[in-house]
Amino acid sequence: MRALGVGLIGTGYMGKCHALAWNAVAPVFGDVPRPRLAMLCEVDPALATRRAGELGFARATADWRALVADPEIDVVSITTPNAFHAEMALAALEAGKHVWCEKPMATSLADAQAMARAAATARSVAALGYNYIQNPAIRLAAKLIAEGTIGRISHAGIEMDEDFMADPAAPFSWKSQAASGHGALDDFGVHAFSLLTLLLGETRAVMADMAKPYHERPLAEGGTRAVETHDVASLLLRFASEASGLVALNRSAWGRKGRIALQVFGARGTISFDQERLNEIELYLAEGPTDRQGFRRILSGPTHPPYDRFIPAPGHGLGFNELKIIECRELLRAIAGEPAHLVDFAAGLRIERIVEAAARSFDEARWVTL
Amino acid sequence: MRALGVGLIGTGYMGKCHALAWNAVAPVFGDVPRPRLAMLCEVDPALATRRAGELGFARATADWRALVADPEIDVVSITTPNAFHAEMALAALEAGKHVWCEKPMATSLADAQAMARAAATARSVAALGYNYIQNPAIRLAAKLIAEGTIGRISHAGIEMDEDFMADPAAPFSWKSQAASGHGALDDFGVHAFSLLTLLLGETRAVMADMAKPYHERPLAEGGTRAVETHDVASLLLRFASEASGLVALNRSAWGRKGRIALQVFGARGTISFDQERLNEIELYLAEGPTDRQGFRRILSGPTHPPYDRFIPAPGHGLGFNELKIIECRELLRAIAGEPAHLVDFAAGLRIERIVEAAARSFDEARWVTL
Amino acid sequence: MRALGVGLIGTGYMGKCHALAWNAVAPVFGDVPRPRLAMLCEVDPALATRRAGELGFARATADWRALVADPEIDVVSITTPNAFHAEMALAALEAGKHVWCEKPMATSLADAQAMARAAATARSVAALGYNYIQNPAIRLAAKLIAEGTIGRISHAGIEMDEDFMADPAAPFSWKSQAASGHGALDDFGVHAFSLLTLLLGETRAVMADMAKPYHERPLAEGGTRAVETHDVASLLLRFASEASGLVALNRSAWGRKGRIALQVFGARGTISFDQERLNEIELYLAEGPTDRQGFRRILSGPTHPPYDRFIPAPGHGLGFNELKIIECRELLRAIAGEPAHLVDFAAGLRIERIVEAAARSFDEARWVTL
Amino acid sequence: MRALGVGLIGTGYMGKCHALAWNAVAPVFGDVPRPRLAMLCEVDPALATRRAGELGFARATADWRALVADPEIDVVSITTPNAFHAEMALAALEAGKHVWCEKPMATSLADAQAMARAAATARSVAALGYNYIQNPAIRLAAKLIAEGTIGRISHAGIEMDEDFMADPAAPFSWKSQAASGHGALDDFGVHAFSLLTLLLGETRAVMADMAKPYHERPLAEGGTRAVETHDVASLLLRFASEASGLVALNRSAWGRKGRIALQVFGARGTISFDQERLNEIELYLAEGPTDRQGFRRILSGPTHPPYDRFIPAPGHGLGFNELKIIECRELLRAIAGEPAHLVDFAAGLRIERIVEAAARSFDEARWVTL
């Protein structure tokens, strides 16, 4: 069988992350054929050529449609700005390619719906880049919950904070334009929803508030412009399981760099996690002598798959990029027809529905049922 | 001038805490006359006598009205179950006594209103036991915010978790009865509101959800009984300053023993705190070289008044009980006619209004403006 | 029986700490008769009178011998500079009084030996102020070790850092004079030895290094003076049990305010503690499924005696001063002829022998066996 | 210019780590030509072939001498058991190849000396695998120290704990045989010395103790065998700078998985780090208002080179394997004749001399000067 041909569209933050994963997935996992890095697409042809050299792709193009159409390409990594996801993913599925598309899925629910519809009838795999669910620590959390270790879940909270919009003196950018979406809610909130869905199941209803820490921002050319998006979003949730939840999103949170602080409360214990310390998970079990109960800090190690494929020693630490390598392995599993731990387009659409319900809830100041 | 005569009603958890404060306030602060511990009231006369001996009170009674009427009593500590607060406080104010009443103020808004009205016309001091605002670390937070160190505040969150209701096998108690109030919202949520009011000012509107982790609980005599209160309450807030906020309350949170995790986000920095580590506060300042910015963990010390009155060495740690000693000192300040850092009955009523608005918001599934 | 008459010598840092304990011990514990605060001694008569008023002592004196001789005094708290401990303790024991003397015991081994000899033949109690061993968290550690929960102990380390000597620009003080002792080794290192003795038993041999972070310090009057003491001391230890150990002492450690970081390694687990978070202890047990093993952070609570005498709710936090109240209760136990958890003069002498052996080891650059 | 030809000897823990680095170095850094993964050597020919496929090497062999001699090989990664390092490195240098050899350098000082001699006269690069010094957080520490940010260094401590030898029931293995070396001292202590050398400079004298937590271990075939190595080693150090230091090594430390807890104390501040949280470094500066001084937790980010080559967003976390990729980049720099941040064989020999001095110190129970 010929090696899987990979096409990569986009070479920014996530484009490089995909490229690193495609380079590393075979050496790390060993049990998967080495993919062929066939073609890379970047808008500027010169940059495309340079990046292809750096990232190990055989050919370069500035025409993403050419990449999608190329017979050597079996799977397309889509890492462009969100507004392009739908068009590219639809074209790739249409061309019979597997698709690995970065989150969020699309910039409108209609687009996401179209993508999910296309994926439902396609014979290829369509997966989204929700890499945080690949963390061995998060997988342990999911396993412990599924096995009932902390009992029936009653409540969960997740707080997601970064500070890339925290500086009020930073010039107005596209992230403050309504065209980019709602703001914190879809810009990075979707990660929170992917984690909650994994750990607690589907969301049934949502009540949202959104806020603008800064109402205007300076323009590079002088003067200011009104901010159209919301850097803060706060949500009350009800899950299908009847558990309740809370999501706090803030991209103007000075000092937080990648905080995704998660807590899941059950009838027999609690799980706590923070993405800024992605190799640690805390577990409290209401069992044994009460004078020695406490939150235990579990360091990721070889007993938390697939950590062992990276390092045989515990507590040595995986990095953010390595979560994407795991995701890539799951994608290869799915392509091979094996069960895979992924957010496919159908699941991605359910996440987009939460976003849309939250936005509506905010607009109408009321609970919205999904 | 004769020493201030103290009467204490109640000798449970908070009664003992008040008694310890009355014993310690003069030795700790030095600059205040030693109060006379004149009389203690406890329902059971024998217990009253025993506790008076232990806690250093000269006389004991089982009749709180006698205590309130006693001419030797200048100030009354009210630490009984919440349902008695209003009646006792009103009687004490009527008798011209100063009142130091535990939180929450009362079990109905009407009672709280009556108390605030009585206090408004009384010539004596009426204060509530919101001891967490006395923490030198919290006072530092308030000072930093007031001085603009972290800039204009855009958002704040507070999470308050304990696990005293977390065991589903624990028998049904009065805490699960509607007569005790709403549950987490008023049982301990009021502390959160006192902190947010100190740091962010008045609350303008609230949207609340409440939940029952366990719908029934076992009865000691066999069978089960439906739970009437909500161990979980989650609130979205809008402050008068236009800042937004979030409050998460959970008294069924396994493993959390006294968590009050607070975050305040400003235009120039962030403050973070957790009551389980009450001698630490974290401060992030967006200033100086970016490669060395980070949350700094500030340990309470003599530069954070009034820590220095307890210990001259930094980082040695105050305890929960010592916050009450500080509160007692503030009460003495108020009685002496000096400016004091206290929640008086007028401020307490504003907290009760938040509780009432939140409960209404939950009932009507909509935002309620205060 | 008449109430125990208390005499306090010294009203500085530890003098106030003793006074607070004497005021609080009866209200906190309830099961002990309230002591009479009979007399206080301070060098300056006016200050003595003022402090007596503040701290609740009936009489004041500037003559410590008068205090020791006073028939109303049953127990003498000695909190003066270390150089006076021996003379005062010997006089008090001679006068038949109980003695509660702050650590370190004395400034020479000969003095400590004389004190221990006097205590051995006295009919009164002679105890030292090693309050850190009173911490409920430390008592839990001792209990877990004694019960074999972490198996046979192979190794322990303790690191004790503060920064009160860290500023090289601070003027030369008596703490840099040889007359004050060796420096970090005896100034605060003795606390480390009291903890290690509690948890691991007697020390058999020691190898020490000492260092001067700053070789001279500025004089207030201009110029500099050579530093005679060592702010840093590092020790290798062998215990009678054959366990090995390590002690790191540093009083020029910028940023550390009260760090006493302890680790005890056993065949089945590990215990970890830091005095800067005195209400937490960490326990690792090599048991149960390996994928959920981790250090558990245990918060002090009512199941860790005598925390319950202070606060009925877990995780609310004791403070440094409250450890002294526990110590005071233990002293009262000893005076009542009950078994008590204390460092008496015999045990204190063994600690001083470690200090002396360490100093000799450093001078002679060799292991010294005790 | 033809691409650099890489030969890898060994495919265990560190072999795979090297292979991952060789695969990733070009995509991550972009500014370096992609190396040719030319040949891999593993003792078992079948395994060699399989691993070559997995790890992306063109050819496989079971004969390391063939690999070293192969004209297509320019650089040899040596990741075999320590006993083979010297022979292989010498052969590779002799053949004119660049050498990238895992730590520790060799199993005898004589071997290390021979290696350093060979490297001194070779025209190729000879580097050792001390990857912890590549951590952007550690580089920041080195930079801050070099720039004088925390002032002149007076003292440093490092504690290195893992638990891979902690189970007394684990069967006797080669790690307990004297032939494997001293135990903790050289097995992993060398990492500590590489860090201290980077941050504090050369070591002048050492005083060591070593201990055996378990004196015998069970044999697989029944019975027990005496343990010959020391799982615990504790060292007092004096640096050429006159700073003092402490090293605590323990490979029987239950619960510690990759702890390398480092503290460096200076005249103006302190730096603290723990490898179990490798993306964080703590910095205390004695500057600014005292009421807001504290250890700041700095999360690695793009301002800490070369973090930015991996991820453009701060606080997202690098992993252990990625430190090896950075080391690989430094090796390529050195091969290109550029200044590189590496431990070369001369520096490696100085580390081995510390090991040898420590072992001698323990044998002779005295300080040994280097």
| pLDDT tens column, A39-70 | 999 999 999 999 999 999 999 999 999 999 99
Predicted local distance difference test score (pLDDT) of residue A2: 79
Q: Which helix (H) or strand (E) holds D346?
A: helix D345-364
Tokens of C109: 């081994």
Report the pLDDT value the prediction gives residue B1, as an integer from 0 to 100.
59
The residues, ordered by sequence, that sit 6+ positions from D159 with a Cβ below 8 Å of its Cβ are C157, D247, D248, D249, D250, D259, D260, D261, D262
Q: Judge whether D73 and D99 are in contact, CB under 8 Å.
A: no
User: Would you state the pLDDT for residue B103?
Assistant: 95
List the subunits that have 3+ CB pairs under 8 angstroms with A.
B, C, D
Using an 8 Å CB-CB cutoff, list chain A residues near D24. Answer: 20, 23-24
The verdict on a CB contact (< 8 Å) between A267 and B214 is yes
| Residue B282 and residue C223 in contact, taking contact as beta carbons nearer than 8 Å | no
Q: How confident is the model at residue A33 (pLDDT cuts 50, 70, 90)?
A: confident
Residues 6+ apart with CB under 8 A from B86: B105, B106, B107, B108, B111, B112, B114, B115
CB D306 within 8 A of CB D329: yes
DSSP-derived secondary structure letter, B18: H
Element (H, E) at C47: helix C45-55
Q: Return the amino acid letter for B98.
A: H
* Largest Cα–Cα separation, chain D: 66
Q: Do B144 and D292 touch (CB under 8 A)?
A: yes
**Whole-number pLDDT of residue C1:** 60
Q: Is the pLDDT of residue A1 over 90?
A: no
Secondary structure of residue C348 in the 3-state scheme: helix
- The continuous run of DSSP H or E covering A25 comes out as helix A13-29
Mean pLDDT of chain C: 97
pLDDT averaged over every residue in chain A? 97
Coil, helix or strand at residue A200:
helix
Q: Which residues of B touch C320 (CB under 8 A)?
A: 311, 316-318
| CB-CB contact of C215 with C227 (8 Å) | yes
Give, for D100, the enclosing helix (H) or strand (E).
strand D98-101
User: Partners of D44 in the beta sheet?
Assistant: none
For residue D220, the model assigns a pLDDT of: 86
Task: With beta carbons less than 8 A apart as the criterion, state whether B174 and B181 touch.
Answer: no
Q: How far apart are CA C141 and CA C137, in angstroms?
A: 6
Inter-chain CB proximity A254 and B232 less than 8 Å: no
Residue A355 corresponds to which amino acid?
A: V
Task: Tell me the one-letter amino acid at D34.
Answer: R
Strand partners, A238: A205, A244
pLDDT at B8: 98
Average pLDDT over residues D86-109: 96
Contacts of D248 in chain C (CB under 8 A): 157, 246
Scan for tokens 């072939």, then name that residue.
D49
- CA C306, CA A168: separation in Å to the nearest integer? 51
Please state the rounded mean pLDDT for residues C152-167.
Answer: 98
Rounded mean pLDDT, C342-357: 98
C-alpha distance from residue D83 to each of D44, D181, D192, D335 (Å)? 18, 10, 21, 26
Which of C153, C161, C209 is the best mutation test for D, with the most CBs of D within 10 A? C209
Write out pLDDT tens, residues B179-216: 889 999 998 899 999 999 999 999 999 999 999 999 99
Q: How confident is the model at residue A291 (pLDDT cuts 50, 70, 90)?
A: very high
Q: Is the dihedral of CA B108, B110, B114, B116 positive or negative?
A: positive
Closest-CA distance, C189 to chain D, in angstroms, reads 16
Report how far residue B195's alpha carbon sits from residue B190's, in angstroms, rounded to the nearest whole number: 9
Q: Give φ, ψ of D39 to 5 degrees.
A: -155, 145
Task: Examine the pLDDT at A218 and tell me if it is beyond 70.
Answer: yes
- The answer to whether residues A106 and A190 touch, using CB atoms and an 8 Å cutoff, is no
Local confidence band at D2 (pLDDT 50, 70, 90 cut-offs) = confident
Task: Tell me the chain C residues in contact with residue D284 when contact means C-beta distances shorter than 8 Å.
Answer: 254-255
**Averaged pLDDT for residues C293-318:** 98
What is the Cα–Cα distance from A358 to A341, expressed in whole angstroms? 26
Collect all residues from B whose CB is shorter than 8 A from any CB in C: 13, 16-17, 19-20, 23-24, 26-28, 30-31, 34, 51, 53-56, 162, 164, 256-259, 276-279, 299, 301, 310-322
Q: Do D154 and C294 touch (CB under 8 A)?
A: no
Given a cut of 80, whether residue A133 has pLDDT beyond it is yes
Query: Backbone phi, then psi, for A126, in 5-degree steps?
Result: -130, 110
Confidence at B2, pLDDT banded by 50, 70, 90: confident
Pairing of β B36-41 and β B5-9: parallel
The tens digit of pLDDT for each residue in B119-164 reads: 999 999 999 999 999 999 999 999 999 999 999 999 999 999 999 9
Closest Cβ opposite residue A295 in set C291, C293, C296 = C296
Label the pairing between strands A295-299 and A98-101: unpaired
The band of D1, judged by pLDDT with boundaries at 50, 70 and 90, is low
Q: Spell out the residues 6+ positions from residue B271 whose beta carbon is closer than 8 angstroms to its own.
A: B141, B144, B145, B150, B262, B263, B264, B281, B282, B283, B284
Residues of B in contact with A151 (CB under 8 A): 168
- In tens, the pLDDT along C188-235 reads 899 999 999 999 999 999 999 999 999 999 998 999 999 999 999 999
Q: Which residues in chain A are closer than 8 Å to D299, comparing Cβ atoms?
A: 257-258, 276
- Residue C93 pLDDT > 90, yes or no? yes
For residue A308, give how far its alpha carbon lies from the nearest alpha carbon of chain B (Å): 30
Contacts of B37 (CB under 8 A, 6+ apart): B6, B8, B19, B22, B23, B55, B56, B57, B58
The percentage of residues in chain D with a pLDDT greater than 90, rounded to a whole number, is 97
At residue D33, the pLDDT reads 87
- A254 contacts in chain B (CB < 8 Å): 150, 265-266, 268-270, 284, 286
- Nearest by CB to B265, from A250, A267, A367: name it: A250
For D216-234, what is the mean pLDDT?
A: 96
Q: Token pair 């500023």 is at which residue?
A: C167
The neighbouring-strand residues paired with A225 are: A217
Instruction: Please report, to the nearest 10 degrees, the dihedral formed by the alpha carbons of residues A160, A163, A166, A169 taken in order.
Output: -160
Q: Between B and C, how many residue pairs show a Cβ–Cβ distance under 8 A?
A: 126
Tallying the residues shown for chain D, one arrives at 370
Q: How many CB atoms lie within 10 A of CB C44?
A: 11
Placement of tokens 């030795």 in the chain: B27
Instruction: Look at residue B188 in the predicted model and tell me its pLDDT.
Output: 84
Neighbours of B367 (CB within 10 A): 17
In this prediction, residues C42-67 reach a mean pLDDT of 97
Q: How far apart are the first and last CA of chain A?
A: 44
CB neighbourhood size of B313 (10 A): 15
Cis check for the bond before A289: say yes or no (omega within 30 of 0).
Answer: no
Chain C interface, best mutation among B167, B175, B276, by max C CB count within 10 A: B276
Of D157, D256, D286, the CB nearest to C166: D286
Task: Name the helix (H) or strand (E) containing D326.
Answer: helix D320-335
Q: For residue C45, say if its preceding peptide bond is cis, omega within 30 degrees of 0.
A: no
H/E element holding A272? strand A269-274
Cβ D254–C238 below 8 Å, yes or no?
no
Distance from A267 to chain B by nearest Cα, in Å? 7
Question: Please, are residues C118 and C98 in contact by the beta-carbon 8 Å criterion?
Answer: no
Q: Which of chain C's residues have a Cβ under 8 Å away from the Cβ of B16?
A: 27
pLDDT above 90 as % of chain A? 96
Question: What pLDDT band is residue C369 in, cutting at 50, 70 and 90?
Answer: very high
**Tokens (6 digits) for A214:** 């800064």
C-alpha A71 chain-centroid distance:
29
Q: What is the average pLDDT across A87-104?
A: 97
Mean pLDDT of D319-345: 98
- Verify whether the Cβ–Cβ distance D297 to B292 is below 8 Å: no
**Closest CA relative to residue B316, chosen from D288, C274, A294:** C274
Nearest-5° Cα angle at D87, D360 to D189: 35
Distance from CA of A280 to the nearest CA of B (A): 17
